[in-house]
Structure 1
Amino acid sequence: MQVASKVILLTRDANGFGTAISDALQPKDSSLRRKEISFELSLERYGINDRKASGDAVHFIDNQGLYKMSILILQEYELPLVACAVHEILSSITGENSSIVPTIIVPFFVAANLKCDMANLTINGQRIILCGTQIGPATDFTEAVVARTSKPPSSLQIHNETLACVLQLVRILKLPTVLLIGSTSQRKSSLTTNEEIEVLYEMGEFLGNIANLNFVKDQIHWTPPQESAHVQEPWRALYG
């Protein structure tokens, strides 16, 4: 799969953050065009014949046809399918026919997929906090991005199968990766709708800045999901 040298990796999560971010990132001017496609990758080599690794891709292409930035929106899968699907997608962008080793940017939100105490990270009264950490080989770009964020707290736990697989596999594939975590500085177990929107806007503005894209709030069509009374136990907790 052809992608740019920098890839924002999102999931089609139940909270709708991934889709909202993707919709709102737009070209700054006519020097870039936005191309949207869907993809399906076979999982037959894993012995899976009835399912595919599928998702959507958004590419920002310049007037010379060069891919300047890519966004991949992955479907969410259950174990063990998720490990096969994530591995196939990451392998497809780093295969033998690829001339680049892309840098992966993975945005996630405490409200949706993470558990940690951000209260001790309040900086100069900031209400919204973005944390960042490098995974895999370091590059000038990953170091510059992380330098503009706070360090994740030691209490960070990731309770999401797709994200856990991504973080494990980028290490194995040696892909330069930045995990970005958005939350408020308030000590609470969940965020209100207004707080979720604030985190979404802050993350979107940050991504637009590092990707040289516009984050257009008017493009966001997001409805907060209804809380479910049933919560599954996480299969794994990763600590940052």
Structure 2
Amino acid sequence: MSFLSPTLRLENLSTQPIMTQDHVPEDQRYNKQNIVAQWCVPINGKMYRIELEHGTTSGRRMIWVNGREVLRRDWMFKLVGEDTFHIDQSRCIIRVDPAPGFKYEYSLYIDGKSHEQYTEDVARQYRLWLSTCHSSSTSDTPPQEYRIMLKLDTLSLYVNDDLRQEESVFVHGGTDTKFMLQDTEFVLQARSSGNKLDGIVHTLLANGVPVPEAKIQEIMQEPVSILQT
């Protein structure tokens, strides 16, 4: 006579490793405390937060992009190496290398370039402005922060990662592109600088007031490259 319940009998027990997290919902698998390295990367006008979980005792390696799991490896007995994944057709590689003192160094590469080099190249391809808008309809509405990016080669305009379809109007000396965010009217001006080196100068106005241009590096999160395990 068996003292086990029908569901606990040996023939009903799973033979699969219990280390896997397949049975755990994705939102419960994500734990900020397990992240050992993170980067912020601009790809095609959108900002992506890449995070790495490196379980040196569990053997689990997970990669998250904007809080979504894109790669997971269980039972990784080799703690160093590299993993490849893609973001919007860009090939990304995270490398795990040994460092002195039983530590690990984590590096990110995008399209064959290091995170630092890739960011510098992208910074030359975009113009960036940061603006905070307040709604005049109700005082209970919290202010909204906007990240406005202009891709210079295609003149694509992105607002908080969303591609905008706005028409440019020819004016004296260049073009104006108008769009509304909450109750604020924005005008993106494109004017000739008068010399070949500077080319076209882009200025963003919010209700007629110039918005200071920001640097992409200013909104990047510094990567945690070397951590104690």
TM-score (norm 2): 0.21
Q: Which has the higher strand share?
A: 2
- Structure scoring higher RCO (CA < 8 A, sep ≥ 6) equals 1
Q: Which has the higher helix share?
A: 1
